[in-house]
Homo-oligomer: A and B are copies of this chain.
Amino acid sequence: MLEKLLETRERHKITNTEELAIVARIEAALLKGARDFFIKNGFIEVNAPHITRATGACENIDTLFGLNYFGVQGYLSQTQQLYLEAMIPKLKKVWCVGPSFRAEPDADERHLTEFSLIEIEFEGNFEELLKYIEGTVCSMVEEVLKEEKLLKKIGVDVERLKNVKAPFKKITYDEAVKIVGLEWGSDLKSKHEKMLVEMYGNQPLFITHFPKPIKFFNMKENDSRPEIVNSTDLILPISGEAVGAAEREHRHDKLKERLENSEMIAKLRIRGGGIKDFQWYLNCVKLNGIKLHSGCGIGLNRVTQFVLGTNDIRKSTVFPLNSQTIM
């Protein structure tokens, strides 16, 4: 019944619909749920710039939007992670919510060029990380369930949401590739995630300990198996990967070595950048006595998709931005 929300080129024609108003209320409730959890748990909000050097990139720097920033190459940030990490030594637990930009040319049910990203970073380990992710997602779902009447109005199966309870089920990447019949080292595709989530009871599912080469350069190596990192993705029914998370490497020399050997830096060098773009971050790690820390990014729209029960991301936000849309 949300078919009219597929429209992105002439979004103004549906801003006055009941459906879009309800999607707005759902997004607002999910954000409130996340923020309330952070504040209750002692996290401090930190705002950082969205025009950055390559330090604002996630793994894939090919999808950075570039701009001329007073004569130097600037980018629109995809994550505030490194800025948040820089504040950990003094603030211990930090969070932010803001736009994340991806120059994705495809305009379809899976791609947006801008979306709201919820991020936390804190002093602590992998086990605490899993707990904070569970806590955040449960708080978001609890808050949205206060809008039960509205949810039912647009055909949402509310019982499915009421079953979301911590602790979430967990499987390792090793187990996951065995089950879906993938070669070790390959990344899971959304069809694999869907298969796994259905096998594990159609509830949020952690997949942990991914191979190092397919993940962000500062995800911490596992002590006993250096070919994997202490990372997790949280897979939600219907929408797929909603959270990417990991312990961060906090030992300067190791971090620098990982960065130097990363695919990201190789790609950045082709564009005229390099280690120097990350020098401020390396300096922070070196000079500020940062301890073992962890963090995650939660894609708001993926949670909204899960709530709505839709496999189309264009239905999951009020003003979806993709390559065909600009208002």
Binary B-proximity of A1-45 (CB < 8 A = 1, otherwise 0): 000000000111101111011001101100110010001000011
User: Is A15's CB under 8 angstroms from B318's CB?
Assistant: no
User: Is A90's CB under 8 angstroms from B20's CB?
Assistant: yes
Main secondary structure of the interface of A (DSSP, over half): mixed
Q: Please indicate the chain B residues that have their CB under 8 angstroms from the CB of A21 in the complex.
A: 87, 90-91
Q: Which residue of B lies closest to A327 (CB)?
A: B280
User: Is A27's CB under 8 angstroms from B45's CB?
Assistant: yes
A125 proximal to B (CB < 8 A)? no
A256 proximal to B (CB < 8 A)? no
How many chain A residues touch the partner (CB < 8 A)?
66
User: Is A28's CB under 8 angstroms from B45's CB?
Assistant: yes
Question: Complex formed: what's the CA distance from A22 to B79 in Å?
Answer: 23
Question: Complex formed: what's the CA distance from A47 to B300 in Å?
Answer: 11
User: Is B50's CB under 8 angstroms from A327's CB?
Assistant: no
User: Is B69's CB under 8 angstroms from A66's CB?
Assistant: no
Interface window among A193-201, A217-225, A283-291: A283-291
A113 proximal to B (CB < 8 A)? yes
A274 proximal to B (CB < 8 A)? no
Question: Complex formed: what's the CA distance from A28 to B45 in Å?
Answer: 5
User: Is B318's CB under 8 angstroms from A46's CB?
Assistant: yes
Q: Please indicate the chain B residues that have their CB under 8 angstroms from the CB of A45 in the complex.
A: 24, 27-28, 31-32
